[in-house]
């Protein structure tokens, strides 16, 4: 169990780099900041010392260990790219990878994660379709001693998340709103006031209430507007 947690810690740094690369983000992917950077958060549990974690990532031989990667859908180029990048990164590091896509269907994702656990995954990386629908699967993972990394979308209402990797989602909303203001002519590209005059009628659409990221997108956008 301890070595699995060490692997999860090292893997999370790699995932942050992957997420930053897919989103064109920062030089320091583990520090939450503006500009679409990524953040990694450890769950409140024992994850081992820095020296142990470094050793797990340095001298440890991952041969025969399997990472289960559960992505939400293959209908979005973004998730295909993320899944392929995560798979390639872990395979390059010597892990076996089982990558699955759930076609945006919650029961399918639940079943896929159950299967990854049954098949003996040593680490799970999950980009959830529904942030509150995987409690049973994550409890099963915890019972089996499998660490779980919540990827981009926070899985809520469970204590069985080892790490969480995501963008600065509020800054994403700020950038969305800023693009809108520039498009309307209310702001110039350099941030100075534009010459356009309203009134403007704007229809605002937010993401699903069960998507944790949507709340941060909305806050960043509304505060900017």
Provide mean pLDDT across the span 37-56: 43
**What does DSSP assign to residue 182?**
H
| 29 vs 38 pLDDT, higher one | 38
Average pLDDT over residues 191-200: 87
Can you tell me the mean pLDDT for 207-217?
72
Classify 125 as helix, strand or coil: strand
Instruction: Decide: 151 and 175 in contact? Cβ < 8 Å.
Output: no
Query: Has this prediction a pTM greater than 0.75?
Result: no
pLDDT score of 24: 44
Ranges 27-31, 90-94, 107-111, most confident: 107-111
Structure tokens at 154: 């926070």
Cα distance from N-terminal residue to C-terminal residue, the chain: 47
Q: What percentage of the chain reaches a pLDDT higher than 90?
A: 39
d(CA 186, CA 70): 42
Per cent of the chain over pLDDT 70 is: 72
User: What domains can be seen in the chain, in order of their start residue?
Assistant: 2-166 (3.40.50.2300), 170-224 (no CATH)
Q: Which residue did the predictor score with more confidence, 115 or 10?
A: 115
| Arithmetic mean of pLDDT, 205-210 | 77
**Would you state the pLDDT for residue 168?**
73
212-224 vs 169-184: helix crossing angle, rounded to 10: 40
């Amino acid at each position: 169990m301890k070595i699995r947690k060490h692997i999860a810690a090292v893997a999370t740094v790699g995932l942050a780099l992957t997420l930053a690369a897919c989103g064109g983000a920062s030089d320091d992917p583990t520090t939450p900041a503006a500009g679409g950077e990524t953040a990694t958060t450890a769950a409140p549990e024992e994850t081992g010392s820095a020296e142990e974690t470094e050793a797990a990532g340095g001298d440890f031989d991952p041969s025969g260990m399997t990472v289960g990667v559960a992505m939400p859908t293959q209908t979005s180029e973004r998730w295909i790219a993320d899944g392929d990048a995560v798979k390639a990164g872990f395979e390059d590091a010597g892990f076996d990878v089982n990558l699955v896509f759930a076609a945006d269907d919650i029961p399918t994702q639940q079943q896929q994660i159950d299967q990854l656990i049954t098949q003996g995954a040593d680490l799970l990386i999950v980009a959830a379709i529904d942030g509150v629908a995987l409690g049973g699967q994550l409890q099963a993972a915890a019972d089996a001693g499998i660490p779980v990394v919540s990827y981009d979308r926070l899985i809520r209402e469970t204590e069985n998340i080892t790490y969480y990797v995501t963008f600065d989602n509020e800054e994403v909303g700020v950038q969305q709103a800023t693009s809108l203001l520039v498009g309307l002519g209310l702001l110039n590209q350099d941030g100075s006031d534009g010459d356009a005059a309203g009134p403007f009628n704007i229809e605002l659409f937010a993401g699903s209430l069960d998507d944790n990221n949507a709340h941060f997108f909305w806050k960043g956008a509304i505060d900017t507007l």
